[in-house]
Chain A
Amino acid sequence: MVGSYFPAQLTDWLTSGKTLFLTIHVLGVACFGYIVARRLVPLLRAERDPRFDRPLARLAKVGKFWLGQWKHPRYKTAGTLHILIFAGFILLATRAFTVLIVGVSATFVMPGLSGEAGRVYNVVTDYAATIVFLCMIVAVIRRLVFRPARYEVPARFGKAHKADAVFLLTLIAVLMVADSLFAAAKAAAQAQQGQPVESLAVLSLPWMLQIVFASSSLLTLRDVYFGAYLLHEVTFYFLLCYRPFGIQFHVETSLFNVYFAKLERGTLKPVKWGVSDEYLDQVKSFGVKTFEDFTWKHMLDFYSCADCGRCSDNCPANAVGRPLSPRFIGIKARDYAFQHYPMFGKASNGKALIGNIYSEDEIWSCTTCGACEEECPLLVEYIDKIVDLRRGMVDDGNVPQSLQKPLKALESRGNPYGKMEKKRADWANAKEFQQVCRVKTLGKNNAAETLYFVDSITSYDDRMQSIGRATAKILDHVGKNFGILGAAEQDSGHEVRRFGEELLFAALRNHNVDAIKASGVKRIVTADPHAFNALKHDYKDSPPVEHISQVIAREVKAGTIKFNAVENGNNVYTYHDPCYLGRHNQVYDDPRDVLDAIPGLKRVEMTRSRDRSFCCGGGGLMLFYEPKEEQRMGVKRVQMAVEAGANVIVTACPFCMVNMEDAIKVAGLEGKMTAIDLAELVDQQIVREGPKATSTLGGACGDSSLCKTSA
């Protein structure tokens, strides 16, 4: 119908309905405009969120994630279906608009689509409509028969969404049939009247329908033609106006959601955009307490969520039965918005979200591992929302008792364990270790190029001190002039910030930044990915930071570090990506390159590795939190290592080590599975010349009981 052969009679067929069609057009567009305007109301009352910068970077995101559907193939079946449907919609958009206009201007031809171009476009869109139609049938069958688990709605989150999903899928199928019928009836009529027939794409839906109607009377064809048009128009507008009430709103919002998506990984949004740290004291209320405390972009996220369930399917908290399912963080907020910002009447805003739509445990359950955000095809943000909700709870004094003590200790002692500041460097001062490696504490008379930022757990935890000693020995081996801050170092505050205690974080950060500046170092190395992320993204004005795995990988390449072959060739190693090294900072290859450089080391990958790594259970304050869960994340993770055929888990984060070693015990795998830090392993395998080579002090045994070598 986009083509140029337009029999006069066919034009008359539509002309009789012109007034009707025009009325539906006007009503449809007006309704849609009104609905969208109402949906924008909460966004206008929301917190500010400056996302209008860097248009090129944003367009690049649109190209990759929206037009390019980048995330979709991560789920093969659903992804393929979505890519086909999305491509179909993009192709059919022009055809749909043309059809709509034809109702009021029967001879309309879309500019640029007359002649040969139009014929090609018609063939392509005949197939597109057919493919979308088939996809709908497959999607409905998936929903009704195969029922992928991630679409189910647990009872605590409300009613199933299946009926709505099937209804919407059916409507799209109807739209495709109406479109095809419209084309088929026209072609059939043209053929019967001996006019030149627009060729329909062979085996497409219109082509088949044309065969069905080939021998129908012209009168019937007229009714079919008219009816198909009406059905198409009504379905089109119904869908347009119905989508903003459910998951298909993403058809309209996704483009904007991706364009305005967060650009920087690993960062957190400030308490309030546009308010610098010095003025934070003047902010009346911290964090998100009511719906209107969300930023407009976060509200757009709620509208855009397509309910595909990929976030929750990958969420470790959800996997172990914690009360958190990221999918419903969005869905519940969206339902709240729909209820409190109704289509007619006044908005009733200002209700507390915690205790109303979210539970405290739900919000504290998140380890901020980022698996949900990594998976989301629409780039919906979760961590910033969780942290904002926590900021609100902290501001109201609503913090679990289990977290209050470590927070208080961080405030008074600079570490969550309440240990004495002066003992922070004890790990390096053990006599036997000092004979092997002297670690200087930076100060007036002790300067260095490189700072080894140890952070609390490695400083104070008996087991993790071994990671500290291994790291120091590696830095020493590669000839780095390095030192530590000792008692002047405080906790990096990474989890303090992510648990919503922004001002305590700021105090820790300011203390550390001052100490780092005073030390005069040029760069920082750390073996703790949480400290790494804090120093890299949360601190300003501090020197560039590297994780020890990056240093090791570089030195291995340069030949400064050489490895002895592994002693036990039967061991099978697997590398567990720490969330704040991998997903949040994209360091995936360096640790693997290092492992692969160790002669004789057999390495396998777990199914969930790299950007799909499964969180060990969380670090920092998460170690103090007592979650409601059916199983430990670490236990699940250790079992994944067993499935991969590994018996040594290598990680590169002290918190992962805590969780892995605990999990090995809980899972009853002691003696069958060990965990070792990359730094410990490297220290153990490194080829040393002279006396250092013979020492096994300070690390690297893969068996915690053997690691307590300090005095």
Chain B
Amino acid sequence: MEILVCARRVPDTSENEIELNSAGNDIERDELVYSVNEADNYAVEEALQIAARVGGNVTVVTVGSEDDEEVLRREMAMGATHGVLITDDAFSGSDGRGIATVLKAFAQKGNYDLILTGVQAEDGAAQVGGVLAAMLDYPFASLLTSIEVLDGRKLKVSREIEGGNKEINEIDLPCVLSIQTGINEPRYVGMRGIRAVAAVPIPTFDASQLGVDPGTVGEAAAKVKRVDYFVPVLGKGAEMLHGSREENVERVLELVAAKGGLK
């Protein structure tokens, strides 16, 4: 099975202190450290596991700049067969539809049976997967927590419903799936793995190579535009309980029940 995984490089929320820039329309990007978007990493792991079970290749693609090679290498160190970087100044400022347009063009150059995305980017809006599926006229299933390959170019996929129940669906290939974190346990990528792929050339495509009309992507074509960025004010923090152990236990139960945590 030929699998394409769309991955993104995002500021790592656990390793950065996210602050607003002075203009107030974006975060301060100096001194940020980046990593592969967590859900995308689960998508790559899932693709690798499917390929290991039924055979095939895993290609990881990202739309971005040269800096984003870093996440492609990380995913190649995990075991992805190919990493592809799509970069063009014309793409900058694209909205979700713009990115999907670019990815669609790339997907159509290959012969992919399955396209995976993470459920959403940590700084994203969870839209690229769905828009991409619509553009390709492929079926789309989202929020997946398991994938099973069936005979006859079909998959059995499940997603979690609010409240912890599961829904199982069948879906025809080719299709686009968005992957929820927790679907698997992504393997660790150590320094050694990254160094091993450090010199592997990464093919790059620009708008013209993909046949993308620059007028359909980028900031000019974006129909969703960010107008503000807002950091909520910190709440008052933890509430300390000062009773005896029994009183505290009772109070905790009350509080949890009040928030709907106990039924």
Q: In the complex, what residues of B have CB within 8 A of residue A422's CB?
A: 31
Whether A476 sits at the interface, judged by CB under 8 Å, is no
By a CB distance below 8 angstroms, the chain B residues around A399 are: 187-188
The reply to whether B187 and A412 form a contact with Cβ atoms under 8 Å apart is no
Which residues of chain A from 403 to 421 have a CB within 8 Å of any chain B CB? Answer: 403-405, 407-409, 411-413, 418-420
Question: Is B195's CB within 8 Å of the partner chain A?
Answer: yes
B188 touches A409 (CB 8 A): no
Q: Which residues of A contact B186 (CB under 8 A)?
A: 401, 404
A418 contacts B188, C-beta separation under 8 Å: no
Q: How large is the interface on A (under 10, 10 to 19, 20 to 34, 35 or more residues)?
A: 20 to 34
Name the B residues within 8 Å of A506 (CB-CB).
191
Question: What is the bound-complex CA distance between A411 and B190, given in angstroms?
Answer: 9
Chain A 508-552, CB-CB to B under 8 Å as 1, else 0, gives: 000000000000000000000000000000000000000000000
Asked if A434 lies at the interface with its beta carbon under 8 angstroms from chain B, I say no
B17 on the interface (CB 8 Å rule)?
yes
Q: Are A411 and B191 in contact (CB under 8 A)?
A: yes
Q: How far is the CA of A501 from the CA of B15 in the complex (A)?
A: 20
- Is B192 a contact of A418 with CB atoms below 8 Å? no
User: Which residue on chain B has the smallest CB distance to residue A500?
Assistant: B190
Contact pick for A418, options B12, B31, B187, B245, CB 8 Å: B12
- B188 and A394 form a contact (CB under 8 A): yes
Closest Cβ of chain B: how far from A283's Cβ, in Å? 9
Q: How far is the CA of A408 from the CA of B193 in the complex (A)?
A: 13
* B78 on the A face (CB < 8 A): yes
- Chain A nearest Cβ from B227, distance in angstroms: 29
> Which residues of B187-209 are within 8 A (CB) of A?
187-193, 195-196
Does any Cβ of A come within 8 Å of B253's Cβ? no
Give the chain A neighbours of B191 by CB distance below 8 A: 411, 501, 503-504, 506-507
Among B35, B186, B190, chain A packs the most CB atoms within 10 A around the CB of B190
Q: Is the CB of A281 within 8 A of B188?
A: no
User: Is A599 located at the chain interface by the 8 A CB criterion?
Assistant: no
| B13: nearest chain-A partner, CB-CB | A418
The answer to whether A418 and B14 touch across the interface, beta carbons within 8 angstroms, is: yes
- Known pairs A398-B187, A422-B31, A668-B245; A413 contacts B15 (CB<8 A): yes
Interface status of B16 (Cβ within 8 A of chain A): yes
A408–B12 Cα distance when bound, in Å, is 10
A409-B34 Cα distance, complex, nearest whole Å: 10
| Known contacts A413-B33, A418-B12; is-contact A395 B245 (Cβ 8 Å) | no
Majority-rule SS of B interface residues:
loop
Closest-by-CB residue of B relative to A505 is: B191
Residue among A398, A418, A507 with most chain B CB within 10 A: A418
CA of A501 to CA of B190, assembled, Å: 7
Query: With an 8 A cutoff between CB atoms, is B162 at the interface?
Result: no
Q: Is A286 an interface residue (CB 8 A)?
A: yes
User: Are A503 and B31 in touch, CB under 8 angstroms?
Assistant: no
Determine if B185 is an interface residue (Cβ-Cβ < 8 Å).
Answer: yes
Task: Please give me the residue from chain A that is nearest to B78 by CB atom.
Answer: A397
Q: How far is the CA of A286 from the CA of B190 in the complex (A)?
A: 11
Q: How many A-B residue pairs have CB under 8 A?
A: 61
Most buried by A among B17, B185, B192: B192
Q: Which of B1-23 contact A (CB under 8 A)?
A: 12, 14-17
Given A397-B78, A668-B245, answer yes or no on A404-B188 (Cβ-Cβ < 8 Å).
yes
Nearest CB on A from B37, distance (A): 13
CA–CA, A399 to B78, complex, Å? 13
CA distance A405 to B189 in the complex (A): 11
0/1 interface trace, chain A 11-23, chain B, CB 8 Å (1 if under):
0000000000000
Q: Which residue on A lies nearest to B191, using beta carbons?
A: A503
Q: Is the CB of B195 within 8 A of A281?
A: yes
Chain B residues lying within 8 Å of A397, measured Cβ to Cβ, are 78, 187-190, 193
> Is the pair A409, B15 in contact by a Cβ cutoff of 8 Å?
yes
Q: How far is the CA of A410 from the CA of B202 in the complex (A)?
A: 26
Give the distance in Å from the alpha carbon of A419 to the alpha carbon of B31 in the complex.
Answer: 11
Are B192 and A503 touching (Cβ within 8 A)?
yes
The residues of B that contact A409 with a CB separation of less than 8 Å are 14-15
**Residue in B closest to A507 when the chains form the complex, CB atoms:** B191
Docked complex Cα distance between A255 and B196 (Å): 43
Contacts A407-B188, A412-B15; is A503 near B33 (CB within 8 Å)? no
Interface string of B221-263 (1 = CB under 8 A from A): 0000000000000000000000001000000000000000000
Chain B residues in 8 Å Cβ range of A501 = 190-191
Residues of A within 8 A of B16 (CB): 418, 420
Closest to A406 in B: B14
Contacting residues, chain A, for B78 (C-beta < 8 A): 397
Q: Which residues of A contact B17 (CB under 8 A)?
A: 420
Residues on A with beta carbons closer than 8 Å to the beta carbon of B31: 420, 422
- A395 x B192 contact (CB < 8 A): yes
Alpha-carbon separation in the docked complex, A501 to B189 (Å): 10
Flag if A412 contacts B33 (CB, 8 Å): yes
Chain B residues with CB under 8 A of A404: 186, 188
Chain A residue with the shortest CB-CB distance to B35: A408
A358-399: CB near B (< 8 Å → 1, else 0) gives 000000000000000000000000000000000000111111
The residue from B15, B35, B190, B245 contacting A394, defined by CB atoms under 8 A apart: B190
> Contact between B35 and A412 (Cβ–Cβ < 8 Å)?
yes
- Distance of A671 from chain B, by nearest CB (Å): 12
A394 to B192 CA separation, bound complex (whole angstroms): 9
CB distance from A496 to the nearest CB of B (A): 10
**Bound-complex Cα distance A306 to B114 (A):** 56
- CB contacts (< 8 Å) of B193 on chain A: these are 397
Closest residue of chain B to A280 (Cβ to Cβ) is B192
Report the nearest A residue to B195, measured CB to CB: A281
Residues facing A in B64-105 (CB within 8 A) are 78
The residue in chain B whose Cβ has the minimal distance to the Cβ of A403 is B188
Residue of B nearest to A409 (CB): B15
Q: Which residues of B contact A503 (CB under 8 A)?
A: 190-192, 195
> Smallest CB–CB gap between A575 and chain B, Å?
30
Q: Are B188 and A398 in touch, CB under 8 angstroms? A: yes
A422 to B30, CA, bound (A): 12
CA distance A405 to B33 in the complex (A): 13
Residue of B nearest to A393 (CB): B188
Nearest B residue to A418 via CB reads B15
Q: Which one of A394, A506, A668 has the greatest number of beta carbons of chain B within 10 Å?
A: A394
Neighbouring B residues of A502 by C-beta, 8 Å? 192
Instruction: Report the minimum CB–CB distance from A449 to chain B (whole Å).
Output: 32
Q: How far is the CA of A397 from the CA of B186 in the complex (A)?
A: 8
Chain A residues with CB under 8 A of B188: 394, 397-399, 403-404, 407
Provide the bound-state CA to CA distance between A261 and B40, in Å: 48
* Residue numbers in B under 8 Å from A420 (CB-CB): 16-17, 31
- Shortest beta-carbon distance from B183 to chain A in Å: 12
Give the complex CA separation of A399 and B186 in angstroms. Answer: 9
Which of B14, B33, B185, B190 makes the CB contact (< 8 A) with A395? B190
| Selected contact of B192 from candidates A286, A398, A419, A668, CB within 8 Å | A286
Residue of B nearest to A506 (CB): B191
9 closest residue pairs by CB, A with B? A397-B187, A418-B15, A399-B188, A503-B191, A412-B33, A397-B188, A504-B191, A418-B14, A503-B192
Known: A409-B14, A420-B17. 16 other contacts (CB 8 A): A281-B192, A396-B187, A397-B189, A397-B190, A398-B187, A403-B188, A404-B186, A411-B191, A412-B35, A413-B33, A418-B15, A418-B16, A418-B33, A419-B15, A503-B190, A503-B195
Partner-B contacts on A (CB < 8 A): 281, 286, 394-399, 401, 403-405, 407-409, 411-413, 418-420, 422, 501-504, 506-507, 668
A sample of 15 cross-chain residue pairs with beta-carbon separation below 8 angstroms, ordered by A number, consists of A281-B195, A395-B190, A395-B192, A397-B188, A398-B187, A399-B188, A407-B188, A412-B35, A418-B14, A418-B33, A501-B191, A502-B192, A503-B191, A503-B195, A504-B191
